[in-house]
Amino acid sequence: MKKQIIFLFFMAFSATLFSQVHGYVKDNSGQIIPGVHIRWLGTDAGTVTDLEGHFHIPLSQVTNMLIFSSVGYVADTVDISKHNLNEHLDIVLDDYIELTELTVTQRRHGKIVNRLSINSMETLNANELRKASCCNLSESFETNPSVDVSYSDAATGAKQIKLLGLSTGYVQMLTENIPNIRGLSSAYGMSCIPGPWMESIQISKGTASVKTSYEAIAGQINVEYKKPELSDRVSLNLFTNSQGRLESNADAAIMLNDSLATGVMLHASDEFRDLDHNQDGYMDLPRIRQYNVANRWYYKNRNYTLQAFVRGLSEYRKGGQTKGDYHVGIDTERYEFFVKNGFMFGGELECDDDHAHDHSSHAEEEHHHHNQSSLNFILSGSLHNQDAKYGNKRYDGNQNNIYANLIYDTELGEAHRLSVGANFNMDMYDEILETASITPYKRTEYVPGTFAEYTVNYKDLTAMAGVRADYNSVFGMFVSPRFHVRYNVADLVHLRVAAGKGYRTPNVLAENNFLLASNRKINIADNLKQEEAWNYGATAHIFIPIWNGRELGLMLEWFYTHFSNQTVADMDTDPHAVFFDNLKGKSYSSSFQIETDLEIVKGLIATLAHRTNDVKTTIGGELREKPLTNRSKSLITLSYQTPQNKWQFDYTTQFNGGGRLPDPDAVNPLWEREFKPFMIMNAQVTKNFKTWSVYAGAENITDFVQQQPIIDVQNPFGDNFDASMVWGPMHGRTFYVGLRWVLGKK
């Protein structure tokens, strides 16, 4: 009897498994198309393709005709009775319509809002990154309304990003979905990822999946490097600007056989001028010389995929007085690697080679395959060494990191998916601060953790609940619950709500050593606690069909972050010091954003966005607005592409709201209490040829520069010298020109 029950269960399961149509939708060039609408002819039963272009839909009892449609592509109707349903369908949609004497083309957008992701996510692809100079990751968000990038000080060139009004430490930075740019690399790491190396950037707001780690509080930013199995054979990018910056990038990829590919990426840049726009005798920005090389491998054999990556970096920053004894020098060396292993169970991996390369990517969107389960193991490590001199002060820091992540995914029927796993992270810090005396800072922190995440789909509702438990060798055990819901009110209206908890370890000296370029005394309290916060979010994405098959995209987003504990940087109590201490009171960030995207006429795409920030922290017993934080930001971008993509014109205007500055000395005030709103304008023109293109542009067209970015600049060894009062651009109008050349795939 028991055997019969098992047999009947197996037959029922098999019938469910094979009573559906599944496959992938691509365009003429073989690139996947996410968000394709699929429905049975004459019915309302349908679905859409996921981020990897994959779909599955139950068989219809009414018809065999399946319709595929997407804005910008020719709709296609497929008779599935002519196909083997045990194999996946490869559907190709034409991205143009040919008439007798006319060809109509559809431009592919550079920014893609993932309609299928359960959390709020957008992807910036190569088209978006090429709208500006984009020499490195820190310069990749000029056309994006969600992410702010600013200088941390006026001496070192360190940059920080802000998402939802919160700075870099609260945004988990990933490369290839592996935690990176953290600790010692957080201040300068974004400038060490060359723009031409990047395939795409994913921006996820709010707490994300529990699979990666517990650190995401305001969101995640993930960088995907170029893949050798998908890349052009050779590409070259040369760049120079009016400030004396010269940069060259080259990458090459080769398929050694059907299963094995490798690629090499090279970068070299240098700056040949001492910039002093305001003639104060102090360099506006440091001169940076950087060499960067990476090699990655890809191997696929049936149900097993392997990726390996190794990178080496050398960078030197030189700043300070143009003529004088105060100099800043920062020497950095970094080496890193990762290895990814992906195993699929339940049969042959039913995924085209173009998209089997990363089974760990895109958090909530991974493993939408016909197979029932997968196992992924990721191992990464890095060695980071930084030797810095700020006048008569020195800082030497070393950070070694090992990270491992094991993820098991399984589909529990058509509507249910379970992910479980374990990961391990270890950081070894060895820092020495030399001011009036020598102070060593040493810490080894290891964090093993486990997680589980369950996703259920019911008609237009998708819910995901995840929880992870971690043990920190310094702070003990802690638990991070996270919950996401997406509801499709209609095919073009998507609502999302989310709530989750995040933690992070304060690495005060490693993340803020650029403050040594000022003469504020750094005071770090003993026994700093682990930072802990809840994040809540609600978004509405509405896609409104308008004329000629175009859509108006309207996005409304609100996120609120409440800190249970936070490491507060107090620059108000004493204008000659900064105090790092545990939060004593309330701290929160509230961010609201509205954004619209529209192709106004053929080839002309416009984005308009506005965001308000309300960020407050208890400082000195009083709940106050966080200093050096813009209260608002507005953005207008226009991008026009001529027919046949021979010319492209891009224009961006940023309106940055004012904000509060740290309190000046009451007796001898050397700066204002507020900074005023300001505007930045950028423009670029690109001429495309068959295998190469030339681009030229201007940044900060209005030549707006913050006056007096350094306090008491003439006395760099005095008590009043302060380079941390930066809220606007420090260099004026800049012109640039570049050349791109590509030898495409065979």
**Residue 116's pLDDT band (cuts 50, 70, 90):** confident
Task: Among 35, 70, 99, give the residue marking a domain's end.
Answer: 99
In a domain, 106, yes or no: no
One domain for residues 243 and 367: yes
- Please give the single-letter amino acid code of residue 400: N
Q: Which residue did the predictor score with more confidence, 699 or 65?
A: 699
In a domain, 406, yes or no: yes
**Over pLDDT 90: what percentage of the chain?**
65
Helix segments in 94-164, DSSP class H: 126-129
Q: Which residue did the predictor score with more confidence, 500 or 302?
A: 500
pLDDT the model gives residue 100:
38
Residue the block writes with tokens 């996703």: 455
One domain for residues 18 and 134: no
Task: Summarize the confidence of residues 395-411 as an average pLDDT.
Answer: 96
Statement: residue 97 has pLDDT above 60: no
Cα(613)–Cα(615) distance, integer angstroms? 6
pTM as predicted? 0.85
pLDDT the model gives residue 180:
92
Task: Among 99, 121, 141, give the residue marking a domain's end.
Answer: 99
**Residue 7's pLDDT band (cuts 50, 70, 90):** very low
In a domain, 104, yes or no: no
pLDDT the model gives residue 44:
65
- What does the DSSP assignment read for 436-447? SSEEEEEEEEEE
Tell me phi and psi for residue 48, to 5 degrees. Answer: -135, 155
Task: Summarize the confidence of residues 620-649 as an average pLDDT.
Answer: 94
Task: Give me the chain's average pLDDT, please.
Answer: 88
Could you tell me how many helices (H) and strands (E) the chain has, helices first? 3, 45
Domain count, the chain: 2
In a domain, 698, yes or no: yes
One domain for residues 232 and 298: yes
598: left (phi over 0), alpha (psi -120 to 50) or beta: beta
Q: How many other CB atoms are there within 10 angstroms of residue 490's CB atom?
A: 9
pLDDT the model gives residue 19:
57
pLDDT the model gives residue 17:
39
pLDDT digits (tens, 9 = 90+) for 599-611: 999 889 999 999 9
Task: Summarize the confidence of residues 4-24 as an average pLDDT.
Answer: 51
One domain for residues 443 and 328: yes
Task: Among 68, 99, 130, give the residue marking a domain's end.
Answer: 99
pLDDT digits (tens, 9 = 90+) for 336-359: 999 999 998 864 433 333 333 443
One domain for residues 58 and 206: no
Helix (H, G, I), strand (E, B) or coil at 192: helix
Statement: residue 16 has pLDDT above 50: no
- What does the DSSP assignment read for 231-268? S-SEEEEEEEETTSEEEEEEEEEEE-SSSEEEEEEEEE
pLDDT the model gives residue 727:
94
Q: Which residue did the predictor score with more confidence, 267 or 7?
A: 267
In a domain, 696, yes or no: yes
**Over pLDDT 70: what percentage of the chain?**
90
Cα(118)–Cα(618) distance, integer angstroms? 34
Statement: residue 421 has pLDDT above 90: yes
Kindly give, in sequence order, each residue whose CB lies less than 8 Å from that of residue 79, ignoring residues fewer than 6 positions away: 64, 65, 66
Closest CA to 338 of 376, 356, 311: 311
One domain for residues 63 and 120: no
In a domain, 105, yes or no: no
pLDDT digits (tens, 9 = 90+) for 434-486: 988 888 999 999 999 999 999 998 888 999 999 999 999 999 999 999 999 99
Kindly give, in sequence order, each residue whose CB lies less than 8 Å from that of residue 667, ignoring residues fewer than 6 positions away: none
One domain for residues 88 and 169: no
Structural domain of 493: 111-743
464: left (phi over 0), alpha (psi -120 to 50) or beta: beta
pLDDT the model gives residue 366:
39
pLDDT digits (tens, 9 = 90+) for 644-698: 889 999 999 999 999 999 999 999 999 999 999 999 999 999 999 999 999 999 9
pLDDT the model gives residue 103:
41
- What does the DSSP assignment read for 31-42? -B-TT-EEEETT
One domain for residues 592 and 635: yes
Task: Summarize the confidence of residues 118-136 as an average pLDDT.
Answer: 87
Q: Which residue did the predictor score with more confidence, 31 or 176?
A: 176
One domain for residues 536 and 657: yes
pLDDT the model gives residue 29:
64
- What does the DSSP assignment read for 564-614? EE-EEEE-SS-TTEEEEEE--S-EEEEEEEEEEEEEEETTEEEEEEEEEEE
Lowest mean pLDDT across 108-117, 508-517, 687-696: 108-117
Lowest mean pLDDT across 69-73, 372-376, 558-562: 69-73
Q: Cα–Cα–Cα angle for 262, 263, 269, nearest 5°? A: 160
**Residue 14's pLDDT band (cuts 50, 70, 90):** very low
In a domain, 619, yes or no: yes
One domain for residues 609 and 538: yes
Q: Which two tokens stand for residue 499?
A: 């709530």
pLDDT the model gives residue 39:
81
pLDDT the model gives residue 105:
45
Task: Summarize the confidence of residues 112-135 as an average pLDDT.
Answer: 84
pLDDT digits (tens, 9 = 90+) for 241-285: 999 999 999 999 999 998 999 999 999 999 988 888 888 899 988
One domain for residues 30 and 59: yes
pLDDT the model gives residue 30:
67
**Residue 390's pLDDT band (cuts 50, 70, 90):** very high
pLDDT the model gives residue 348:
42
Statement: residue 225 has pLDDT above 90: yes
pLDDT the model gives residue 80:
83
594: domain CATH number is: 2.40.170.20
pLDDT the model gives residue 46:
73
One domain for residues 85 and 193: no
29: domain CATH number is: 2.60.40.1120
- What does the DSSP assignment read for 714-727? T-TTSTT-B-----
Task: Summarize the confidence of residues 183-190 as an average pLDDT.
Answer: 92
Statement: residue 574 has pLDDT above 60: yes
Measure Cα distances from 607 to 539, 542, 600 in Å: 18, 15, 10
